[in-house]
Structure 1
Amino acid sequence: MGSLNVYSVLVVLFLTCGAAMATMENDQIIKENNCETKMSLPCVLEAFTSIFEKGSISNKCCGKLVVLGKVCHSTLVKRSLENPLFKYLSPATIISKSIQTWNNCLALIDSPSPSA
């Protein structure tokens, strides 16, 4: 449970301070698409954990990620990688996990529900 609190602090730090460290292009995309306001903090944490650490994302948060959109998803991941807190991470690994998370969520949302 302690690690969840650490991630909460990191995500809040990312959301509040990340703009100062991001490139102008990413900031513009995020602002124009209202990317930072489209997901709840618990879902942001799930998505963040599934991409930057080892974890999974719930069906509910997958739905919110898909609604967030591919442009916002990709841009927020890129901006996170620009943050010095994550300089120890492999960008190729994170981008791969980001694509995998996106594709898994998209497939889950696009798949038909079993009939009751």
Structure 2
Amino acid sequence: IVVALVCAFVPVFSVEEAEAKTLWDTCLVKITPKCALNIIAVVFGNGTLIESCCQDLVQEGKVCHDNLIKYIADRPSLIGRETQYLKKRDDVWSHCVSISKTA
């Protein structure tokens, strides 16, 4: 479900297709579909972060989080607000790291 949703958001990759597939395969297995959708809703909409998803996000890792959100933000219909999305991406990451340190 997540792969289909993310692929719908990201029809064209900014890197080689094989490299992108490896990234997706490596990153998406580290996060639950529920949490992936929640984080996408927070970054690209007005979703409310489910704090239990922070553990999944931190486990996924910053490189995966940064790259996956960047791929979505690079979509032509979203690129005009890319700076805003990348800031929200970083805010979500910082929040999740701070929560996971106190848990």
Aligned length: 102
Q: What stretches of structure 1 of length at least 5 have no aligned partner?
A: 1-7
Aligned to 2:51: 59
Task: Give 1:17 shift.
Answer: 7.1
Equivalent pair of 1:26/1:79 in contact (CA under 8 Å) = no
Q: Which residue matches 2:88?
A: 97
The equivalent residue for 2:100 is 109
State the secondary structure of the residue aligned to 2:47: coil
* TM score, norm. by length of structure 2: 0.81
Question: SS state of the match for residue 21, structure 1?
Answer: coil
3-state DSSP of counterpart to 1:110: helix
Q: Whose radius of gyration is greater, 1 or 2?
A: 1
Q: Does 1:50 align with 2:33?
A: no
Structure 2 partner of 1:82: 74
Normalization by structure 1: what TM-score?
A: 0.73
CA deviation vs aligned residue, 1:71-96 (integer Å, no higher than 9, x gap):
00000011001223424x51111011
Identity across aligned pairs (percent)? 25
